[in-house]
């Protein structure tokens, strides 16, 4: 506007008034001080997390119906329960699983539903329908699945010399102390052995002394009582009385008289061996140490461990809670934990969150520094210094607002700040530049000059800022888990933008009044070499219609060529790339019917494989159960997995800042050996890397539905072994179709039982007592911190096969002992097979992970294949979004593919809405329908940079790239808006069209370049981030391409439009 006369002094607009108030005010200083203090306070007190906490209320409802087959459980429990629950508000999906004697329904509420309200509704719904439960079902157990159940700290206590009971006792003691740390919530132990009083019965001796299991159990239970029985009052004193004989030790239990034999008492110890200890081993938890381990190594490779897992209370700061826990732990070491026990912190989410946040604060600092250097180069020391002051103020205010809103500081928040960095310096730059120009005029009053400078640029600056805010806001409405995950961006960028506007109108003019020198500037009003070059090219284009047309045609051609990149798969789509993590998991499911020992062997072999990698510090081996749960495991339903055939290895790596290789590369290098092991042992081994964003059940997931479940199974099997197995890069292909297993049915022959006077129930109970053991209360040891149950069992050797039933006896009412083999028949048959349901329909899942690449393309390939081919003679109806029909066999592609489609759909809609809003605002501003179209012409130009940028760096076009594209819409509109504004101003100043276009471009060239470079340099630090690299690439390349092209295309567009309209709507004939 240098050549334009300043607008006549009219009434000030809001920007001018703000400046007038603050420019001389003492309040400005206070604003600065308050912003700084609030920011520092926020930085210290706001809870830190690695990722935004996503609230996905979910719960498992477990219903036991002893003796019912899976089909029965499905028909009587799982189906009706799902129907009841699906009638509730806010339900997203229900997943059913019918097992032998047990049904599980997992309810998932919509993302963002209030957790407490959802669970209350769930309880209410179930309790009010209790009367509809079929007879024989037990009270449903409702397990809420909550993010706050996921332990933030896990501590492993390991020792090979101590027994599992001893180790667990120490861990219990430690747990007891750590529980007192404020902010902790659920704390529990994994591994070790619970102390039990094991009564190992000897059938031979029992027969000799003529006692039965039932006798013993009754006697022990009857002996183990002590009840408060009132009080004595005498001699003016009152004393309470307890009557009974409590069992307090294994010895006590051994001294129980179970019967009389030849008029002499038979003690329990006469017919059984009684031990105080571990009992039967059902799970194994061990820890091993890799080459990068830094503490003293134990003698053994894998050492039995007990893990103490501690979760935090909702709303507390993971960093402080974890610190307090670990501080307490170090105090306990040597006092409660003996020195022979190896103590390792295997998970510390506090530290993880803190280092993630600190790294990003560091990055933010670097980004600010680069932008400052840029400002110094472009604006000179003083102006740069003033703009630099405003940057931390804006960031601090934004952080303080987050703190007040109850948000956390996480990676996404900080990415939002880095992203907004390039945008937020702009307001101050524009203000300072204009004040500078005013001061350069001789004899201007410093206060009034600054006020009128701000007043002048107030309207376009407000509008440009509004455009950026409007571009981001629709992102708040992204659905699914991605919405809350990305939410800090649309929340923080607008806050930062509004703050930057306020600071630019208040603090910046105030600082300019104090420090900005009016004269003897840097001569940046003289056109530099860039401006002269630009003017020459522009004049050339304007004067030659063919060159103009050729230029525009070239742009269109380039645009078309760029759009071909994704079509030719030079740029691939993916939801989110993998993240470089400090740990990953390997889950194992051995063949059905495998023993714990088999599973443990696979697990140990996996430990041997991962130990070979030099970046492994330690690994937790679990067999028979899973290790400490994590967020993605929770949502994948891993809390339900147990039994001898499951196992898990949690691998911990050197911190990523100290390791040159990403966890992705480490997993890739381990995969061949793990695949070999899987092939050798026929175990299902999956490597689970923690996703950077919302977790899914599986990367690729095909849900097969259909009217006949057996056929559905056959189809699922065909898909698994036929279609999936032959696609490259698919790893860990699995399905829910069960392996065959054997089951023995021991049928009580009713006639024989009646003849012998034995009831079927009695026979079944006796059998259970012998095969799986019976609990009979607990001994009362006041000092024990966990209950010590009394368990009866028969030594394992006496019940190894189904044909050893002759050794087990039941006593009939006449006191005669009947061998079980006389009244039962043993039938061998196929084991019960679980039935899966989703949203009330039978389903089988076929799942796979990806060893590399995006899941989008294999799924599209398989989709194409299934469109033209039949499976098992059935043509599958395929769907991505909608529910398949229940009458036909159908397949729905779910997993990450579904999430990807949802996310791109939502972000695409957000983009559309953003563009519409920007258009509406621009129409309001220009009072014209055509000029906004020219202004927004710069938006598609960004694509010319975005796709080639991704192709050049070999990156996926991800959800964050898409966010970058949306952000670009706001950014580039700002540039073209100011450009058009200047052209209009020049024209009002009486310049010819050509001259106005050329001059405006030349004058705006420098600030536009400055803004663009600020964005490029500000976000450059993000390029290396595996997740947000896409955003950075979009911003950098999109801004560069759009800026350079905008400078030509927008003036040319306006030139053509103005020519056209000035000729009264006739086609423009130029020169």
Interface with other proteins by CB under 8 A: which residues? 32, 36, 39-40, 43, 159-165, 167, 192-193, 277-278, 281, 284, 289, 291-304, 358-359, 361-362, 364-365, 368, 385, 388-389, 392-393, 396, 511, 595-598, 600-601, 604, 623, 654-655, 657-658, 795-798, 800-801
| Residue 75 DSSP code | I
DSSP state letters, 917-953: HHHHHHHHHHT-SHHHHHHTTHHHHHHHHHHHHHHHH
Least separation, in Å, of the C-beta of 170 and other proteins? 12
d(CA 103, CA 114): 26
Least Å distance, CB 370 to other proteins, is: 14
Whose Cβ is closer to other proteins: residue 359's or residue 994's? 359
For residue 992, how many other CB atoms are within 10 A of its CB? 11
Q: Which residue, 217 or 589, is less far from other proteins as judged by CB?
A: 589
Q: Which is nearer to other proteins, 560 or 796 (CB)?
A: 796
Rounded to 5°, angle at Cα 211 from 207 and 217: 135
The distance of closest approach from Cβ of residue 731 to other proteins in the complex, given in angstroms and rounded to an integer, is 26
Per DSSP, the three-state class of 198 is strand
* 3-class secondary-structure state, position 317: coil
Minimum separation from the CB atom of position 807 to other proteins (A): 12
Closer to other proteins by Cβ: residue 572 or 613: 613
Cross-strand partners of 735 = 846
The nearer residue to other proteins, 262 or 294, going by C-beta atoms, is 294
Give the N- to C-terminal CA distance of the chain in Å, as an integer.
28
Residue 744, beta-bridge partner list: 828
Distance CA 729, CA 848 (A): 10
Cβ closest to other proteins, residue 365 vs residue 721: 365
| Closer by beta carbon to other proteins, 196 or else 686 | 196
> Min. distance of Cβ 865 from other proteins in angstroms?
41
Per-residue burial over 507-529, b = 16 or more CB atoms within 10 Å of its CB, e = otherwise: bbbbbbbeebebeebeeeeebee
Q: Which residues contact 692 (CB under 8 A, 6 or more apart)?
A: 51, 576, 577, 578, 579, 1026, 1027
Residues near 366 by Cβ (< 8 Å), separated by ≥ 6? 1021
The tokens 């002269």 sit on which residue?
532
Q: Least distance in Å: CB of 514 to other proteins?
A: 9
Smallest distance, other proteins to C-beta of residue 36, A: 5
Nearer to other proteins among residue 114 and residue 595 (C-beta): 595
d(CA 313, CA 405) in angstroms, rounded, equals 18
Give min distance, CB of 614 to other proteins, in A.
Answer: 8
Nearest CA-CA partner of 58 in 103, 97, 105:
105
| 647 bridge partner residues | 588, 623
φ, ψ of residue 205 to 5 degrees: the values are -65, -35
- DSSP labels for 508-566? HHHHHHHH---SS---TTS--HHHHHHHHHHHHHHH-HHHHHHHHHHHHHHHHHHHHHH
**Shortest CB 90 distance to other proteins, Å:** 42
Q: Which is nearer to other proteins, 93 or 655 (CB)?
A: 655
In terms of CB distance, is 283 or 1034 closer to other proteins? 283
Residue 379 CB, nearest distance to other proteins (Å)? 14
Compute the least distance from the CB of residue 795 to other proteins, in Å: 8
CA dist 426 → 93, 420, 1011 (Å): 46, 10, 6
**129 or 388, CB closer to other proteins?**
388
Nearer to other proteins, 304 or 1053 (CB): 304
User: What's the min distance (Å) between Cβ of 703 and other proteins?
Assistant: 36
Judge contact between 431 and 505, C-beta under 8 A.
yes
The distance of closest approach from Cβ of residue 595 to other proteins in the complex, given in angstroms and rounded to an integer, is: 4
CB of 672 to other proteins, least distance (A): 18
Contact between 93 and 105 under an 8 Å Cβ cutoff? The reply is no
| Nearer residue to other proteins within complex by CB, 377 or 514 | 514
Is the separation of the CB atoms in 435 and 509 below 8 Å?
yes
CB of 296 to other proteins, least distance (A): 6
Q: By C-beta, is 157 or 493 nearer to other proteins? A: 157
| DSSP conformation class of 333 | B
Check: CB of residue 1034 under 8 Å from CB of residue 946. yes
**CA dihedral (967, 968, 973, 974) positive or negative:** positive
CB of 136 to other proteins, least distance (A): 33
Q: Which two tokens stand for residue 102?
A: 């047990």
Residues in the chain: 1071
* Nearer to other proteins among residue 369 and residue 952 (C-beta): 369
836, HSE (Cβ side, Cα atoms, 13 Å): 16
Do residues 986 and 2 touch, judged by C-beta distance below 8 A?
no
**Rounded Cα gap, residues 726 and 701, in angstroms:** 16
CB of 642 to other proteins, least distance (A): 17
Q: Is 314 helix (H, G, I), strand (E, B) or coil?
A: coil
Nearer to other proteins, 40 or 332 (CB): 40
CA dihedral over 569, 574, 576, 579, signed as positive or negative: negative
- Provide, rounded to whole angstroms, the least separation between the CB of residue 200 and other proteins: 12
Report the residue number, 296 or 761, with the smaller CB distance to other proteins: 296
Is residue 264 within 8 A of residue 210, CB to CB? The reply is no
- Phi, psi at residue 928, to the nearest 5°? -150, 145
Q: How far out from the chain centre does Cα 143 lie?
A: 20
Question: DSSP secondary structure string, 692-741?
Answer: SS---S-SEEEEEE-S-HHHHHHHHHHIIIIIGGGSTTEEEEEESPPPP-
Q: Considering the complex, state which of residue 293 and residue 1057 has its C-beta at the smaller distance from other proteins.
A: 293
Q: 1058 Cβ partners below 8 Å, 6+ apart?
A: 993
């Amino acid at each position: 506007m240098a050549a334009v006369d300043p607008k006549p002094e009219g009434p000030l607009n809001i920007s001018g008034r703000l400046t007038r108030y603050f420019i001389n005010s003492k309040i400005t200083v206070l604003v600065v001080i308050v912003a700084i203090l609030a920011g520092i306070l926020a930085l210290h007190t706001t809870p830190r997390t690695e990722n935004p906490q996503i609230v996905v209320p979910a719960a498992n409802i477990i219903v036991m119906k002893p003796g019912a087959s899976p089909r029965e459980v499905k028909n009587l429990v799982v189906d009706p329960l799902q129907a009841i629950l699906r009638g509730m508000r806010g339900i997203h999906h229900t997943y059913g699983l019918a097992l032998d004697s047990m049904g599980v329904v997992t309810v998932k509420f919509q993302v963002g539903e209030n957790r407490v309200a959802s669970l209350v509704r769930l309880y209410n719904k179930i309790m009010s329908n209790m009367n509809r439960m079929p007879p024989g079902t037990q009270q449903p157990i409702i397990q809420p699945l909550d993010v706050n159940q996921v332990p933030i700290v896990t501590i492993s206590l390991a020792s090979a010399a101590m027994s599992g009971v001893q180790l667990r006792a120490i861990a219990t003691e430690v747990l007891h102390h750590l529980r007192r740390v404020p902010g902790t919530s659920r704390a529990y132990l994994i591994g070790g052995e619970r102390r039990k009083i094991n009564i190992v019965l000897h059938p031979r001796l029992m027969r000799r002394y003529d006692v039965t299991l039932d006798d013993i159990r009754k006697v022990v239970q009857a002996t183990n009582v002590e009840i408060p029985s009132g009080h004595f009052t005498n001699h003016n004193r009152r004393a309470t009385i307890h009557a009974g004989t409590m069992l307090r030790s294994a010895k006590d239990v051994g001294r129980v008289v179970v019967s009389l034999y030849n008029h002499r008492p038979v003690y329990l110890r006469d017919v059984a061996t009684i031990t105080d200890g571990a009992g039967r081993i059902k799970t194994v938890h061990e820890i091993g140490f890799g080459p990068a381990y830094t503490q003293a190594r134990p003698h053994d490779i894998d050492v039995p461990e007990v893990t103490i897992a501690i979760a935090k209370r909702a709303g507390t700061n993971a960093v402080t809670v974890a610190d307090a826990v670990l501080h307490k732990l170090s105090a306990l070491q040597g006092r409660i934990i003996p020195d022979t026990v190896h103590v390792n912190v295997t998970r510390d989410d506090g530290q993880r969150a803190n280092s993630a946040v600190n790294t990003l604060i560091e990055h933010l600092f670097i980004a600010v520094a680069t932008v400052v250097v840029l400002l110094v180069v472009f604006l000179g020391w003083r102006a740069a210094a003033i703009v630099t002051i405003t940057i931390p103020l804006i960031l601090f205010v934004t952080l303080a607002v987050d703190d007040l809103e109850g948000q956390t500081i996480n990676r996404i928040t900080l990415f939002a700040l880095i992203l907004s960095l390039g945008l937020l310096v702009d307001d101050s730059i524009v203000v300072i530049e204009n004040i500078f120009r005013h001061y350069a005029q001789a004899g201007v009053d410093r206060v009034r000059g600054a006020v009128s400078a701000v007043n002048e640029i107030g309207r376009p600056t407000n509008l440009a800022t509004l455009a950026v805010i409007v571009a981001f806001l629709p992102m708040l409405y992204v659905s699914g888990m991605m919405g809350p995950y990305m939410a800090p961006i649309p929340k923080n960028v607008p806050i930062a933008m509004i703050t930057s506007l306020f600071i630019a109108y208040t603090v910046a003019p105030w600082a300019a009044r104090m420090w900005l020198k009016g004269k003897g500037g840097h001569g940046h009003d003289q056109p530099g070499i860039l401006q002269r070059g630009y003017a020459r090219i522009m004049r050339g284009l304007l004067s030659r219609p063919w060159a103009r047309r050729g230029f525009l045609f070239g742009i269109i051609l380039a645009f078309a060529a760029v759009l071909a990149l994704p079509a030719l798969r030079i740029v691939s789509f993916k939801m989110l790339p993998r993240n470089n993590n400090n740990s990953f998991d390997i889950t194992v499911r051995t063949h059905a019917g495998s023993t714990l020992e088999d599973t443990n062997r696979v697990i140990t072999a996996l430990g041997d494989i991962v130990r070979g990698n030099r970046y492994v510090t330690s690994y937790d081996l679990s067999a028979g159960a899973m290790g400490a749960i994590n967020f993605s495991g929770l949502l994948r339903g891993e809390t339900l997995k147990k039994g001898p055939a499951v196992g898990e290895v949690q691998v911990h790596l050197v911190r990523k800042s100290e390791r040159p290789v990403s966890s992705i590369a480490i997993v890739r290098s381990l995969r061949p050996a793990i695949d070999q092991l899987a092939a050798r042992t026929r175990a299902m081994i999956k490597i689970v890397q923690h996703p950077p964003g919302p977790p899914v059940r599986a990367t690729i997931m095909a849900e097969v539905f259909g009217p006949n479940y057996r056929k559905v199974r056959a189809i699922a099997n065909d898909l698994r072994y036929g279609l999936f197995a032959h696609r490259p890069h698919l790893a860990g292909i699995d399905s829910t179709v069960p392996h065959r297993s054997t089951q023995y049915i021991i049928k009580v022959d009713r006639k024989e039982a009646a003849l012998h006077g034995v009831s079927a129930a009695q026979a079944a109970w006796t059998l259970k007592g012998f095969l799986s053991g019976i609990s009979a209360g607990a001994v009362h040891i006041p000092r024990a911190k966990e209950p010590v149950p009394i368990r009866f069992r028969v030594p394992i050797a006496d019940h190894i096969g189904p044909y050893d039933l002759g050794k087990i006896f039941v006593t009939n009412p006449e006191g005669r002992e009947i061998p079980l083999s006389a009244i039962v028949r043993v039938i061998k048959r196929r084991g019960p097979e679980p039935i899966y349901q989703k949203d009330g329909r039978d389903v089988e899942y076929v799942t796979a992970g990806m060893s590399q690449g995006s899941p989008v393309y294999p799924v599209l390939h398989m989709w194409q294949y299934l469109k033209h081919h039949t499976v098992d003679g059935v043509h599958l109806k395929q769907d991505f979004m909608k529910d398949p029909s229940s009458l036909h066999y159908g397949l729905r592609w779910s997993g990450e593919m579904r999430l990807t489609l949802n996310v791109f759909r939502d972000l695409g809609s957000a983009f559309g809405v953003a563009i519409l809003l920007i258009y509406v605002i621009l129409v309001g501003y220009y009072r014209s329908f055509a000029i906004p179209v020219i202004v927004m012409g710069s938006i598609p130009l960004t694509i010319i940079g975005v796709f080639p940028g991704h192709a050049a760096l070999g990156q996926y076009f991800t959800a964050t790239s898409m966010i970058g594209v949306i952000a670009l819409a706001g950014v580039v509109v700002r540039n073209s808006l100011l450009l058009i504004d200047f052209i209009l101003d020049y024209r009002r100043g009486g310049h010819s069209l050509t001259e106005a276009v050329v001059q405006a471009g030349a004058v705006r060239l420098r600030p536009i370049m400055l803004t663009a470079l600020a964005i490029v340099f500000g976000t450059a630090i993000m390029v290396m981030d595996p997740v947000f690299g896409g955003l950075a690439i979009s911003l950098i390349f999109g801004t560069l391409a759009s800026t350079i092209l905008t400078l030509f295309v927008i003036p040319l567009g306006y030139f053509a439009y103005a020519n056209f309209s000035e000729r009264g709507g006739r086609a423009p004939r130029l020169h």
